[in-house]
Structure 1
Amino acid sequence: MKHIIHMGSVCWRREGQDILKNICWDVTEGEQWAVLGLNGSGKTSILNIITGYNYPTSGSVNVLGTEFGKASIPEMRKKIGYVSNALDKFSGTLNRETVENIILSGRFSSFGIYQKIDENDEKKALDIMKGLRLEYLKGKTYQVLSQGEKRRALIGRAMMAEPELLILDEPCTGLDVLSREDVLNITKDIHAMNCHMLYVTHHIEEITDVISHVLLVKDGTIVAAGPKQDVLTSSLLSDTYKIPVKIHWENNRPWMSII
């Protein structure tokens, strides 16, 4: 089966400190993954290696057929969509743009439109807006949107490039319950596009039925990785979160309580 991500015995050191230790992880075609762990557990470091912004100190990495050290990382990045709170640093530019222009900019991996667009691009952007239930915001600038609308617009921007891999890094942070469920419903559309997804979160209740597999990370190591029903256990999550927890399932979604 085709590998979307392969990390073989990956270690990453910074300033003499081991940040990631012996990461062995494979994502294969058709799988949708959630990544769970405390702050500082290594989740962001793993994402930075997958996207080629950090290079492993040792070990092998292959993402979307690109073997690190033997192929172009910039070309690989064109196949990856990324939505993160880190994009807030571009808010000065984003605030002046309309929702449709923000989505269109994903076609060129830019913030703002600096290249010629055609009717097909415009139609595609509008179709994405409809799919994300954002068409009522046509002509509105980013600065007047709610937090949930902003998050959906950025997901639309990522989808514009038709990525093979979409990374959603804590996309529901700061959202109310209604806005959170709007974002979670979008993951079903992403799955329908045959796009592979990494969904990074602290909150296991955000793991909807679209997610098939889960990676648990603690202190730069992997606690467990595999089908979500096997990984999302009280024992493994207590280890990951360093506190006793109990898991129960409702409507095929997991929920956690402290014990």
Structure 2
Amino acid sequence: MGKILSLKGVNWQRNGQTILRDFNWEVHHQEQWGILGLNGSGKTSLLNIVTGYQFPTKGEVIVLDRSFGKTNLLELRKEIGFVSSSLERFDSSLKFETVEEIVVSGKFASIGLYEVVTKAEWEKADRLLDRFRLTYLKGKPYHLLSQGEKRRVLIARSLMGDPKIMILDEPCTGLDIVSREEILSLLKEIVKNSYLLYVTHHIEEISKEITHILLLKDGEIFASGLKKEILNDEILSQAFNLSVKVHWEEDRPWLTVRNREDIKMRS
């Protein structure tokens, strides 16, 4: 495979307003990316373009060696796993499904099971439950799960189709620290077989499995590259318009605000 992901000269406008401007970004083999930025920086719009739900107003998009405008996007999306806290809008549809039913439904990209499931597919779902330490939940209805358990189940579900790209869009939103660390511990399994795009507001979620950072600001790429080259005091202070200090522990970055008066001025 040549290009995992390539955006060249990408712009996107909505209602006459430019949301994304001059995006030039490539993802190569062996790279796992974290995508950072404040609210309104363009993260969601970028994901919508990568998954083919929005076409750029201008520019070229190539995902998994397939050029947009020349490929079947429905088929392409089958090779992209996607997990977001926004999927909780389907909770009412999922609430009486068992954990294993939800996981196996990922094979068909459906909310609910409407296909005949083979023995091999049930066995694969069982293996995913085991990989993600979810076997103890087998047979349990979805609505009885904690928020952290629900996210882990949805991640396992997204891997049923063996996606080549895995997108985790703020998967730790609303979770307590234990549940957050449980989610982050799964990344080492995900990157074994998928290219990861991990979207977050919080740099402490950039675990050792993530190798590169794309930092967005006001609809533009502010910085991109190896994570230790991007996640430093100077670059993040400029990106956030806030004086911050970054320190590293066990290959993970942690951020401290230097002057809290800056926050008061911005509120």
Q: Deviations over 1:143-181 (max 9, x none)?
A: 000000000000011011100000000001111111111
Instruction: Find the counterpart in structure 1 of residue 262 from structure 2.
Output: none
Letter in 2 for 1:22: D
Deviation at 1:88, TM superposition (A): 1.4
Q: Write the mapping of 1:116-155 to structure 2, written as runs, cut at 5 A.
A: 116-155=116-155
Distance 1:9 1:216 in 2: 17
Letter in 2 for 1:243: L
Instruction: Find the counterpart in structure 2 of residue 7 from structure 1.
Output: 7
Instruction: Find the counterpart in structure 2 of residue 108 from structure 1.
Output: 108
Deviation at 1:232, TM superposition (A): 0.7
Distance 1:102 1:236 in 2: 41
- Between the aligned residues of both structures, percent identity stands at 51
Instruction: Find the counterpart in structure 2 of residue 42 from structure 1.
Output: 42
Asked if the contact 1:4/1:64 (under 8 Å) is kept, the reply is yes
Instruction: Find the counterpart in structure 2 of residue 172 from structure 1.
Output: 172
Instruction: Find the counterpart in structure 2 of residue 159 from structure 1.
Output: 159
Deviation at 1:203, TM superposition (A): 0.7
Which runs of 4 or more aligned residues in structure 1 lie more than 3 Å from their structure 2 counterparts after TM superposition? none
Query: TM-score when scaled to structure 1?
Result: 0.98
Asked if the contact 1:105/1:112 (under 8 Å) is kept, the reply is yes
Asked if the contact 1:66/1:73 (under 8 Å) is kept, the reply is no
SS state of the match for residue 59, structure 1?
Answer: strand
Instruction: Find the counterpart in structure 2 of residue 24 from structure 1.
Output: 24
Instruction: Find the counterpart in structure 2 of residue 202 from structure 1.
Output: 201
Asked if the contact 1:166/1:195 (under 8 Å) is kept, the reply is yes
Q: Deviations over 1:58-100 (max 9, x none)?
A: 0100011110111111111010000012211211111111000
Instruction: Find the counterpart in structure 2 of residue 92 from structure 1.
Output: 92
Deviation at 1:7, TM superposition (A): 0.4
Instruction: Find the counterpart in structure 1 of residue 220 from structure 2.
Output: 221
SS state of the match for residue 104, structure 1?
Answer: helix
RMSD: 0.9
Asked if the contact 1:214/1:228 (under 8 Å) is kept, the reply is yes
Distance 1:124 1:246 in 2: 44
My pick for the range that moved more, 236-245 or 130-139, is 236-245
SS state of the match for residue 4, structure 2?
Answer: strand
Note the residue ranges of structure 2 that are not aligned, 5 or more in a row: 259-267
Distance 1:2 1:28 in 2: 8
Distance 2:177 2:245 in 1: 22
Distance 1:90 1:174 in 2: 17
SS state of the match for residue 3, structure 1?
Answer: coil
SS state of the match for residue 182, structure 2?
Answer: helix
Distance 1:92 1:73 in 2: 28
Deviation at 1:109, TM superposition (A): 0.3
Deviation at 1:2, TM superposition (A): 2.7
Distance 1:119 1:239 in 2: 54
Instruction: Find the counterpart in structure 1 of residue 56 from structure 2.
Output: 56
SS state of the match for residue 186, structure 2?
Answer: helix
Note the residue ranges of structure 1 that are not aligned, 5 or more in a row: none
Q: Deviations over 1:37-59 (max 9, x none)?
A: 00110000000000000100001
Instruction: Find the counterpart in structure 1 of residue 264 from structure 2.
Output: none
